[in-house]
Amino acid sequence: MVSLRITEIFHSLQGEARTVGRPTVFVRLTGCPLRCQYCDTTYSFSGGTQMALQEILDQVAVYNARYVTVTGGEPLAQPECHSLMTALCDAGYEVSLETSGALPIGDVDTRVSVVLDLKTPDSGECHRNLYENIPHLKSIDQVKFVICSRSDYEWSRFKVDEYQLTAKVDDVLFSPSHGQIQAAELAQWVLDDQLDVRFQMQLHKLLWADEPGR
């Protein structure tokens, strides 16, 4: 029987990426091999509850939502994450996967929109980026950079150009690390350099600060 360790399943507004503001069910898997210095979900590193796949699907269905985001932690650290995403797609949901980019995405169901985080130097986990993932990106996927400083911004801008990311995916996301860089400052850098990226802020933090399950 397929089962996964789950930290929480909750209904909220999508806080970032392409479907920002959309009512979404979040399935947060337990566990992560990374330790980014700005992580706001450290409570998902351990613990959780082992749940059967059908039990997860039943709980997701309660919210009658169109969008489902599989997140973590690092969801791909649990091999059965693939079965979960395929089952969600088969059930008719529009599914996205939030992943650190440190684990392979080649076997992710092609119906899933992968939100791939390329870790910047100031994250402390830049060395974990698995650049072999980039050829597997589809147009419906998204690449996210969480930017902590001007040097992070310059690094991110270089990576966008080096890997021609705006030609590979519909959305390249530049996000200020909450509390580490002024959002307006990053926005101005994007405008000054005329970058073809989507600037974003974390809507859920503006609405609910750091409340878990929001």
Query: pLDDT tens-digit profile of 104-150?
Result: 999 999 999 999 999 999 999 999 999 999 999 999 999 999 999 99
Alpha carbon distance 150, 180 (integer Å): 11
Alpha carbon distance 23, 14 (integer Å): 6
Tokens describing residue 85: 């995403």
> pTM of the entire structure?
0.92
3-state secondary structure (DSSP) of residue 46: coil
List, for residues 48-102, the tens digit of each pLDDT value.
999 999 999 999 999 999 999 999 999 999 999 999 999 999 999 999 999 999 9
**Cα separations in angstroms, 18 against 35, 67, 168:** 25, 11, 15
Residue 40 pLDDT > 90, yes or no? no
| Residue where the block lists tokens 């985001």 | 69
Q: Report the CATH superfamily, name and number, of domain 3-208.
A: Aldolase class I (3.20.20.70)
For the chain, which residues make up each domain, given as ranges? 3-208
